[in-house]
């Protein structure tokens, strides 16, 4: 999937992945896509809730072993 910016938050635990994602999205333009790499097991629920609460679109999420990948479109 095409993305405009990548954010690696592997090794960080809640709430840091969400806080860094929020900061990265704030620096992006509407419609741009952020690719996030995380390892926090709570990230799936956290990113789903974050997307609902902020209006940003969670385009996809995948899990590979203990690693998670998210694509989020800025509103």
Contact predicate 37/65, CB 8 Å? no
- In sign, the C-alpha dihedral spanning 9, 63, 46, 39 is negative
The whole-number pLDDT of residue 7 equals: 98
Please report, for the domain that includes residue 58, its CATH number.
3.30.110.40
CA distance 70 to 37: 7
Residue with tokens 């990948």: 69
Sheet hosting strand 33-38, strand order edge to edge = 5-8, 33-38, 67-73, 57-64
| Tens-digit pLDDT string for the chain (75 aa) | 999 999 999 999 999 999 999 999 999 999 999 999 999 999 999 999 999 999 999 999 999 999 999 999 999
pTM (two decimals): 0.96
Catalytic residue among 5, 12, 14, 58: 14
Is 10 a known active-site residue? no
Number of separate domains in the chain? 1
3-state helix, strand, coil in the chain (%, to 5): 30, 35, 35
């Amino acid at each position: 999937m095409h993305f405009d910016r990548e954010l690696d938050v592997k090794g960080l635990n809640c709430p840091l992945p969400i806080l860094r994602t929020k900061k990265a999205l704030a620096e992006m333009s509407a419609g741009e896509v952020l690719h996030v790499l995380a390892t926090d097991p709570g990230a799936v629920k956290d990113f789903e809730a974050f997307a609902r609460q902020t209006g940003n679109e969670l385009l996809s999420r995948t899990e590979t072993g203990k690693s998670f990948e998210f694509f989020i479109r800025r509103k």
